[in-house]
């Protein structure tokens, strides 16, 4: 039986200071017993000679310096994992909240995971179809990649997250060979799963995510972890680690290709800042802890592919940029760690265009490996470059037309202007439940390029123009 300490000297928010402890280690799990007999879990944030700082996973309400007992359990926070987790909904602390039975674990894993040896990583190069044209064609998602979505307050990142979670899949060899999406082929996919983690969301948002998965049938291949805004701050820090632990088990032990969607990383970082302030640490930029970069890296770097393992983890973290400021510490540091970003644009949103993904400012650094013959289609890479360049020029001409008037534009400029308008209305805009195949998206692109003179199509091959434009 472990020793129960009654030496709580101070309580600051979710933190307890326990004096006179011996043999306590960092990240060790502990049990806190209040004076009324109720028990709560916590973990050690800091351990030094004779003192431990304990972080509660639940509210500290009712805890007092007199009579509160702390018992250190000699183990870290572990998650019981099993393939039976698929189709289930859990709280941010890993407890089932879908009225289903407890999951009987195949094994228990430390939620902090184990670092992946860089030499054992495989380079991501396989295409994942999300069903969203602006992502699939212009910012191609690669299996094993970490590609965040940079959003802002009031933008529809929740709907986009749910859409990606519902629709994400890998193409079959038959589809790639035939160059078309075959009805019913989705059921023949390789083992594919989605792990979805929501942190600090409202109750309505949590219900929205849960209902979206249930009514579309996507829940059968998904694991949901939902942490709402009224849950304790400490639980918010554990939630993404629980989700990634479940993903690692499915990917590296059961050979699933897992897409992990985490929203909202801004709420996670705010929780880190709150606990850092309670510990009276020296703040870094904008009050965030100086170790914010390191902490985010411990989450983002758990994506990837490992040599000798069939499964993979693809990560799509979502964050809302305070005041739409891309230089804010959260998007700034995230951009250093991840392989690009997908930017949502407020201007497109104000035009009622969904999803408001802006090609300029969005980037997938690994997309070149997942575009082309044998992966998607031979014209994919050229189409990506041509559409982006044409839309960029079209938006510039639109701004010029406001100043000089449309009558002052040349015929070529007017063609670009018409292209930009159609590009927003037909390519970027699509329904929230519209699932376009990569081949449908490419064909839409070719149809739009008909607006431009052939002499302007300098980024697509001539034989591709002859082959695909007439059929678009």
Express each pLDDT in 341-379 by its tens digit. 999 999 999 999 999 999 988 999 999 989 999 899 999
> What is the predicted pLDDT for the residue at 190?
67
- Residues 312-345 have pLDDT tens digits of 999 999 999 999 999 999 999 999 999 999 999 9
Q: Note the pLDDT of residue 184.
A: 53
Burial class (CB in 10 A: 0-12, 13-18, 19+), 11: middle
Question: How many structural domains are present in the chain?
Answer: 3
**CATH code, 17:** 2.40.30.20
- The reply to whether 337 and 456 lie within a common domain is no
Q: Are residues 351 and 444 in the same domain?
A: no
Alpha helices in 255-410 (DSSP H): 265-278, 292-300, 329-337, 346-350, 380-404
Shared domain check, 321 and 259: yes
CA–CA distance, 416 with 370 (Å, rounded to integer)? 28
Cβ contacts of 310 within 8 Å, gap of 6 or more? 255
- Three-state secondary-structure class, residue 437: coil
User: H-helix or E-strand containing 465?
Assistant: none
For residues 102 and 216, state if they share a domain: yes
> How many other CB atoms are found less than 10 A from the CB of residue 453?
10
Token readout for 149 is 């979505």
Pairing of strands 149-151, 312-320: parallel
Say if residue 465 is exposed, middle or buried (CB neighbours under 10 Å; 0-12, 13-18, 19+): middle
Low-confidence ranges of the chain (pLDDT < 50): 187-188
Please indicate, yes or no, whether residues 142 and 68 belong to a single structural domain of this protein: no
Domain contains 350: yes
Instruction: Please report, for the domain that includes residue 87, its CATH number.
Output: 3.40.50.12240
Q: Is 373 inside a domain boundary?
A: no
One domain for residues 165 and 43: no
Residues listed for the chain: 472
Domain stop point among 26, 60, 76? 76
- Please say which residue of 323, 343, 367 terminates a domain: 367
Is there a contact between 318 and 149 (Cβ–Cβ < 8 Å)? yes
Q: Report pTM.
A: 0.90
CB 40 within 8 A of CB 73: no
Choosing from 337, 367, 397, the residue where a domain stops is: 367
Torsion sign (Cα): 311, 157, 209, 203: positive
Neighbours of 10 (CB within 10 A): 11
Residue 70 and residue 93 in one domain: no
For residues 70 and 172, membership in a common domain is answered with no
Q: Are 16 and 54 in contact (CB under 8 A)?
A: yes
Distance (Å, whole) CA 386 – CA 449: 9
Q: Report the pLDDT value the prediction gives residue 67, as an integer from 0 to 100.
A: 87
Residue 337 belongs to some domain of the structure = yes
| pLDDT number for residue 472 | 64
Q: What angle do CA 460, 464, 468 make, to 5 degrees?
A: 115
Q: Using CA of residue 178, residue 180, residue 181, residue 184, what is the dihedral sign?
A: negative
Is 249 domain-assigned?
yes
Domain range for 461: 380-469
**Helix/strand/coil for 342:** strand
> Domain check: are 47 and 102 in the same one?
no
């Amino acid at each position: 039986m472990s020793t129960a300490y009654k030496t709580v000297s101070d309580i600051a928010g979710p933190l307890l200071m326990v004096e006179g402890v011996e043999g306590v280690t960092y990240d060790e799990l502990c049990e806190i017993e209040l004076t009324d007999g109720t028990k709560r879990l916590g973990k050690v944030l800091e351990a030094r000679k004779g003192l431990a700082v304990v972080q509660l996973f639940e509210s500290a309400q009712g805890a007092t310096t007199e009579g509160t007992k702390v018992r250190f359990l000699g183990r870290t926070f572990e998650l019981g994992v099993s393939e039976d987790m698929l189709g289930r909904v859990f709280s941010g602390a890993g407890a089932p909240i879908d009225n289903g039975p407890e999951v009987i674990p195949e094994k228990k894993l430390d939620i902090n995971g184990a670092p992946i040896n860089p030499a054992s990583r495989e380079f991501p190069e396989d295409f994942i179809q999300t069903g969203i044209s602006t992502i699939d064609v212009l910012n191609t998602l690669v299996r094993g990649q970490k590609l965040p979505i940079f959003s802002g307050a009031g933008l529809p990142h929740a709907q986009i997250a749910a859409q990606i979670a519902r629709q994400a899949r890998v193409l079959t060899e038959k589809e790639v060979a035939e160059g078309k999406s075959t009805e019913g082929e989705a059921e023949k996919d390789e083992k594919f799963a989605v792990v979805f983690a929501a942190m600090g969301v409202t109750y309505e948002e949590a219900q929205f995510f849960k209902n979206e998965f249930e009514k579309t049938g996507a829940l059968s291949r998904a694991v949901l972890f939902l942490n709402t805004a009224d849950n304790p701050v400490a639980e918010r820090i554990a939630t993404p680690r629980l989700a990634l632990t479940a993903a690692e088990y499915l990917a590296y032990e059961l050979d699933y290709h897992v897409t992990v969607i985490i929203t909202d990383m801004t709420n996670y970082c705010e929780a880190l800042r709150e606990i850092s302030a309670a510990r009276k640490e020296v703040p870094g930029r904008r009050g965030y802890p100086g170790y914010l970069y390191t902490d985010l890296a411990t989450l983002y770097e758990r994506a990837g592919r490992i040599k000798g393992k069939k499964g993979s983890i693809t990560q799509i973290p979502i964050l809302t940029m305070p005041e739409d400021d891309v230089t804010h510490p959260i998007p700034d540091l995230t951009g250093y760690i991840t392989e690009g970003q997908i930017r949502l644009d407020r201007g497109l949103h104000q035009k009622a265009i969904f999803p408001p993904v802006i090609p300029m400012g969005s980037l997938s650094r690994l997309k070149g490996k997942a575009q082309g013959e044998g992966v998607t289609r031979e014209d994919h890479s050229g189409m990506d470059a041509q559409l982006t360049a044409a839309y960029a020029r079209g938006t510039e001409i639109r701004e010029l037309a406001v100043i000089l008037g449309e009558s002052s534009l040349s015929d070529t400029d007017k063609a670009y202007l018409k292209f930009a308008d159609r590009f927003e209305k037909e390519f970027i805009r699509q329904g929230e439940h519209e699932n376009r195949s990569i081949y449908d998206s490419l064909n839409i692109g070719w149809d739009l390029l008909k607006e431009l003179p052939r002499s302007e199509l300098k980024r697509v091959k001539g034989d591709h123009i002859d082959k695909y434009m007439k059929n678009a």
